[in-house]
């Protein structure tokens, strides 16, 4: 919080729950911190619940146009909380329905940037892969080490990772449990950008501010088209894109964007 205040960005609102901290800024950016440092931000049920609730609320908050999700310098998140699930039984996991905590993040309609320092392992790597853009510090490590504790990824690690990096890199990570360094993750297509460790949140916040200045309905439709089209044959994906493209011509922001270009002035996008 202090860091951004020192940069001249003052949080308009800050909510510190036990396991997460949410800061909202006047420029339409929200910064959400995972805050369980003693356990390297391991995702226990209480943390997942808080996180899901934040995303549910942020989705409907018109003052927020882009969200940055981050951990601390040592860990983005070291995975699901192993201690909390060591004695779990299948029926309990089914009743617990973890997917309901992931759903609001998966369905989050606005651009989401993961700002990753340190460990992004297991559920932590899967959480980062829920984001639209991943900015990593040079010292970050990404891995799916679940096999080491006798299980496998349960929140998209076999699916999103394979789609991001292809079968052979994914299998290597999933079967050996060995993490990859940020630079390798970037080359594999798992990371958007690698920066110095102490510039991760700053870079993510700058990128988020830029995105927040864009027309939000166009951002939403781009996200929808990329995510929904990714699993479809090209023709169906193109149809989704075409319909979204045409629909944007019914927005005020399209009129404003094009008129501002013609009049050689800066556009003011209202999200209408």
Determine if 40 is a binding residue for ligand CAA (CB under 6 A). Answer: yes
Nearer to ligand CAA, 149 or 193 (CB): 149
Can you tell me the distance from the alpha carbon of 12 to that of 24, in angstroms, rounded to the nearest whole number? 6
Least CB distance to ligand CAA at residue 156 (A): 8
Residue 122, interface with ligand CAA (CB under 6 A)?
Answer: yes
* Euclidean distance between CA atoms 269 and 65, whole angstroms: 11
Tokens of 128: 């980062």
**Residue 119 touches ligand CAA, criterion: CB under 6 A:** yes
Residue reference for tokens 């779990």: 88
**Cα 114 to Cα 71: distance, rounded to the nearest angstrom:** 9
- Of 47, 67, 155, 218, the one binding ligand CAA by CB under 6 A: 155
Helix (H, G, I), strand (E, B) or coil at 52: helix
How many whole angstroms separate alpha carbon 219 and alpha carbon 184?
29
Catalytic site residue from 71, 126, 137, 143: 126
Q: β-strands 75-77, 119-121: how paired?
A: parallel
Assigned token pair, 47: 């943390």
Query: Taking the complex as a whole, how short is the minimal distance between the CB of residue 125 and ligand CAA, in angstroms?
Result: 8
Q: How far apart are CA 249 and CA 247, in angstroms?
A: 5
* Angstrom distance (rounded) from CA 155 to CA 98: 9
Give the number of residues in contact with ligand CAA, rule: CB under 6 A.
22
Q: Which of 79, 111, 215, 216 binds ligand CAA (CB under 6 A)?
A: 79
Does position 145 interact with ligand CAA (CB under 6 A)? The reply is yes
Of 5-13, 50-58, 79-87, 223-231, the segment contacting ligand CAA by CB under 6 A is: 79-87
| Binding of residue 147 to ligand CAA (CB under 6 A) | no
123 binds ligand CAA (CB under 6 A): yes
- The closest of 137, 174, 179, 178 to 156, measured between CA atoms, is 174
Query: Shortest gap between Cβ of 216 and ligand CAA (angstroms)?
Result: 31
| Residue 245 in tokens | 């493209």
Least Å from the CB of residue 133 to ligand CAA: 22
Q: Is the dihedral of CA 204, 206, 210, 213 positive or negative?
A: positive
Which one, 116 or 207, has the nearer CB to ligand CAA? 116
Q: What is the C-alpha separation between 167 and 189, in angstroms, rounded?
A: 12
Q: Are 153 and 144 in contact (CB under 8 A)?
A: yes
Residue 78 makes contact with ligand CAA by CB under 6 A: yes
Say which of 122, 123, 124, 156 is annotated catalytic: 123
- Which of 154, 229, 237, 257 is close enough to bind ligand CAA by CB under 6 A? 154
| Interface with ligand CAA (CB under 6 A), residue from 52, 57, 59, 82 | 82
Q: Give residues in contact with ligand CAA (CB under 6 A).
A: 39-40, 42, 78-83, 119, 121-123, 126, 145-146, 148-149, 153-155, 157
Residues with a catalytic annotation lie at: 80, 123, 126, 146
């Amino acid at each position: 919080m202090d860091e951004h205040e020192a940069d001249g960005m003052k949080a308009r609102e800050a909510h510190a729950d036990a396991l997460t901290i949410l800061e909202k800024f006047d420029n339409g950016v929200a910064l959400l911190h995972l805050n369980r440092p003693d356990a390297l931000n391991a995702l226990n049920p209480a943390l997942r619940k808080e996180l899901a609730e934040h995303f549910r609320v942020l989705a409907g908050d018109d003052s927020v146009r882009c969200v940055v999700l981050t951990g601390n310098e040592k860990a983005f998140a070291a995975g699901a909380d192993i201690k909390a699930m060591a004695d779990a039984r299948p029926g309990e996991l089914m009743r617990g329905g973890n997917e309901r905590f992931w759903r609001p993040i998966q369905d989050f309609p606005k651009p989401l940037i993961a700002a990753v320092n340190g460990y992004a392992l297991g559920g932590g790597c899967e959480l980062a892969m829920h984001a639209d853009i991943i900015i990593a510090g040079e010292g970050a490590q990404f891995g799916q080490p679940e096999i080491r504790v006798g299980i496998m990824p349960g929140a998209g690690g076999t699916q999103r990772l394979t789609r991001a990096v292809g079968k052979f890199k994914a299998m290597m990570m999933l079967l050996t449990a060995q993490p990859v360094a940020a630079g390798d993750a970037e080359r594999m297509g798992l990371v958007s950008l690698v920066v110095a460790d102490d510039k991760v949140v700053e870079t993510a916040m700058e990128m988020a501010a830029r995105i927040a200045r864009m027309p939000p309905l166009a951002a939403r439709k781009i996200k929808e088209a990329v995510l929904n089209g990714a699993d479809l044959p090209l023709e169906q994906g193109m149809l989704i894109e075409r319909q979204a493209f045409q629909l944007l011509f019914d927005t005020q922001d399209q009129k404003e964007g094009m008129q501002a270009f013609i009049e050689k002035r800066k556009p003011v996008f209202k999200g209408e």
